[in-house]
């Protein structure tokens, strides 16, 4: 990858990505959902956190019912009389924030560990990779469960738990790519020019790890959102005052048996569409950026 070629490469990449109609649709869906989440306070008919605007008299209305003061609940209301559409928009916001924040922190930390391991080698590499192996040998849900039992509830705590279960994937991926790059001629040339090691690491090796990292990050983000929803569903993730999509589904679970499907099913559909669209985008990125990663 040579910097001077970048504009044309970007165009080639975009063309290749858009070559798959499924991936293009998935990308559009993801962008639309992100926008809806960002502008939730403007779009949502109701502020679900504002108790004054929520009327308990309106609870458990099926989709399309109208409230006493003329507001139509297109997607129904939940057990506390909250408008489902608004609750879902705000829930989507929280799910995305958690997925993005944990992904970015895990990416930064994992990348650092991976680069150090690859660049230093020797016992540092061996030790770090042992820790990574240990981390990856335990199922993510188990590690996250242990951490959340210890840490308690809260948006910061679930982000910590998700970072802990994710960083090792980034570390291992970056180490692998960095080792390959480290052995290339251009890095030898940079060494021959007596460039400082940190400069080689961050200006030469890191940029070449980015395509692979992008793929891993996308897939990890989908995983994180899904895991957060699962943990919240178990009552371990977020506090009930600010429900994410997972918590909304959990709240609706109690009403499922009595046939009030919309409270659980609708946030579930949103979650499903979100996670699947991110995964489809990730798959396409992998095919376009690095065909060797298929598998």
Partner 1 sequence: MAEFILRRILQALLVLFVMTVLVFFGIHVIGNPVDLFASSECTKACLDEIMVNLGLDRPVWQQYLIFLGNLAEGDLGRSFTHGVPAMSLIWERFPATLELAVAALVLALGIGLPLGFYAGLRPESILSKVIMALSMIGFSVPIFWIGLILILTFSVYLGWLPAIGRGELVSVLGLEVSFLTLDGLRHLAMPAFTLSLLMMSMVIRLTRAGLREVMTSDYIRFARANGVPEYRVLGWHAMKNLLIPIVTVLGMEFGGVIAFAVVTESIFSWPGVGKMLIDAISVLDRPLIVAYLIFVVTMFVLLNLVIDILYSLLDPRVRLGAGAV
Long-range contacts of 45-54 (CB under 8 A, 24+ apart): 45/71, 45/83, 45/85, 45/86, 46/71, 46/82, 46/83, 46/86, 47/86, 48/82, 48/83, 48/86, 48/87, 48/90, 49/90, 49/241, 49/242, 54/80, 54/81, 54/82, 54/83
Shortest Å distance, C-beta 244 to partner 1: 12
Residues that bind partner 1 (CB under 8 A): 126, 134, 137-139, 141-142, 145-146, 149-150, 152, 222, 226-227, 229-230, 233-236, 246, 249, 253, 256-257, 259, 261, 264-265, 268, 271-272, 275-276, 279-280, 283, 295
Tell me how far apart the alpha carbons of residues 140 and 101 are, in angstroms, rounded to a whole number. 18
Query: Which one, 187 or 227, has the nearer CB to partner 1?
Result: 227
Shortest Å distance, C-beta 204 to partner 1: 27
Query: Which one, 51 or 134, has the nearer CB to partner 1?
Result: 134
Shortest Å distance, C-beta 11 to partner 1: 28
Q: Are 95 and 81 within 8 A, CB to CB? A: no
Query: Which one, 213 or 227, has the nearer CB to partner 1?
Result: 227
Shortest Å distance, C-beta 277 to partner 1: 9
Query: Which one, 119 or 233, has the nearer CB to partner 1?
Result: 233
């Amino acid at each position: 990858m040579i910097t001077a070629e970048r504009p044309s490469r970007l165009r080639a990449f975009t063309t290749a990505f858009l070559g798959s109609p499924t991936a293009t649709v998935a990308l559009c869906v993801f962008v639309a959902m992100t926008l809806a989440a960002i502008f939730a306070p403007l779009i949502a008919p109701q502020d679900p956190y504002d108790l004054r605007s929520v009327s308990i008299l309106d609870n458990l209305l099926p989709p399309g019912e109208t409230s006493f003061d003329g507001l139509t609940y297109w997607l129904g209301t939940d057990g506390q009389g909250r408008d489902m559409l608004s609750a879902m928009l705000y829930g989507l916001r929280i799910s995305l924030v958690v997925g993005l924040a944990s992904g970015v922190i895990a990416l930064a930390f994992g990348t650092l560990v991976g680069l150090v391991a690859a660049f230093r080698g020797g016992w540092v590499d061996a030790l770090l990779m042992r820790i990574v192996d240990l981390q990856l040998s335990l199922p993510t849900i188990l590690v996250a469960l242990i951490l959340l039992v210890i840490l308690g509830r809260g948006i910061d705590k679930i982000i910590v738990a998700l970072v802990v279960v994710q960083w090792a994937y980034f570390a291992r991926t970056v180490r692998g790519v960095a080792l390959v790059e480290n052995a290339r001629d251009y890095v030898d040339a940079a060494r021959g020019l007596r460039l400082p090691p940190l400069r080689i690491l961050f200006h030469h090796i890191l940029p070449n790890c980015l395509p692979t990292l992008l793929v891993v990050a996308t897939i990890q983000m989908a995983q994180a959102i899904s895991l957060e929803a699962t943990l919240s569903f178990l009552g371990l993730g977020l506090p009930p005052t600010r429900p994410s999509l997972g918590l909304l589904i959990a709240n609706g679970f109690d009403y499922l048996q009595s046939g009030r499907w919309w409270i659980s099913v609708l946030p579930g559909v949103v979650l499903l569409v979100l996670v699947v669209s991110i995964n489809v985008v990730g798959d396409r990125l992998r095919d376009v950026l690095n065909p060797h990663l298929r598998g």
